[in-house]
């Protein structure tokens, strides 16, 4: 019995080592001629589609016209330079990699009340790369502020707007995954506001100075004001 246990442990160690070896070989092959300073392109050299996903987890507060939310933010895109055939690498279908190894889009929140807040948490410094070249970049557990709000005596409505910082719409096309945000995880916290709805829309804007289109995704979050307790 003791010999069987030792044998199983030994075989497991060999399998783990082999798996690590395949990952090292795959990473070496993928990044041999990869330049992260160059953005990927879409099909037929079209703009690269960046899918933006937002999950509101908690209403932190609303004060002096500034809405503060705890959110999960995720970006997704394809980089065909980083695709591979899993059967050539012992059926490896995905890799978890540090973000600084790959090109990542500079999609940022506009009209933020605290623009100096660090974007990435400890978990957000890695992304998931799949064999078809799809990249999933979660930057969850963030505190986001916005001062782009309107209100009256009954409700508060605020916009969270996201756009590439240095790319126009001829290079990057930002799209929202959902038209209506899922609020299942929303925790109201200790607030005088009650969540009503959250919707998303994609905007394309051109300016008199520049012929290029500029694309953003805007989430509108609406709350009703609760009666103040006596």
Gap between the terminal Cα atoms of the chain: 72
Taking the model in full, what pTM does it have? 0.82
pLDDT grade for 203, boundaries at 50, 70 and 90:
very high
Full DSSP string of 33-94: S--TTSPP--GGGPPEEEEEEEEEEEEEEEETTEEEEEEEEEEEEE-GGG---GGGGTT--E
Asked whether the beta carbons of 142 and 156 are under 8 A apart, the reply is: no
Per-residue pLDDT at 158: 93
Cα 213 from Cα 139, distance rounded (Å): 26
What pLDDT, in 10s, does the model give residues 93-150? 999 999 999 999 999 988 887 654 445 444 457 999 999 999 999 876 677 888 889 9
With 80 as the cut, is the pLDDT of residue 182 above it? no
Calpha distance 212→206 (Å, rounded) = 6
> What residues are paired with 107 via a beta bridge?
164
Under the banding of pLDDT at 50, 70 and 90, the label for residue 179 is confident
Distance CA 170, CA 173 (A): 7
Q: Going from the N-terminus, what domains does the chain have, and what CATH number goes with each? A: 31-225 (2.70.170.10)
pLDDT for 26-62, tens place per residue? 999 999 999 999 999 888 889 999 999 998 888 888 8
């Amino acid at each position: 019995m003791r010999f069987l246990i030792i044998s199983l442990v030994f075989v497991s160690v060999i399998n783990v080592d082999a798996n690590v070896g395949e990952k090292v070989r795959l990473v070496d092959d993928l990044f041999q001629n990869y330049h992260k300073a160059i953005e990927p392109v879409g099909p037929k050299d079209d703009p690269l589609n960046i899918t933006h996903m937002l999950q509101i987890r908690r209403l932190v507060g609303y004060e002096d016209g500034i809405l503060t939310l705890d959110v999960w933010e995720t970006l997704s895109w394809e980089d065909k330079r980083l695709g591979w055939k899993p059967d050539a690498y012992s059926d490896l279908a995905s890799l978890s990699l540090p973000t600084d190894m790959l090109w990542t889009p500079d999609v940022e929140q506009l009209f933020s009340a605290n623009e100096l807040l660090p974007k990435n948490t400890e978990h957000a410094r890695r992304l998931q790369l799949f064999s078809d070249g799809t990249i999933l970049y979660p930057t969850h557990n963030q505190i986001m502020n916005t001062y782009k709000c309107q209100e009256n005596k009954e409700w508060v409505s605020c916009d969270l707007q996201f756009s590439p910082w240095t790319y126009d719409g001829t290079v990057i096309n930002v799209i929202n995954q959902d038209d209506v945000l899922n609020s299942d995880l929303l925790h109201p916290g200790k607030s005088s506001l009650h969540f009503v709805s959250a919707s998303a829309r994609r905007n394309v804007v051109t300016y008199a100075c520049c012929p290029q289109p500029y694309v953003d995704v805007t989430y509108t979050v609406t709350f009703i004001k609760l009666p103040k307790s006596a």
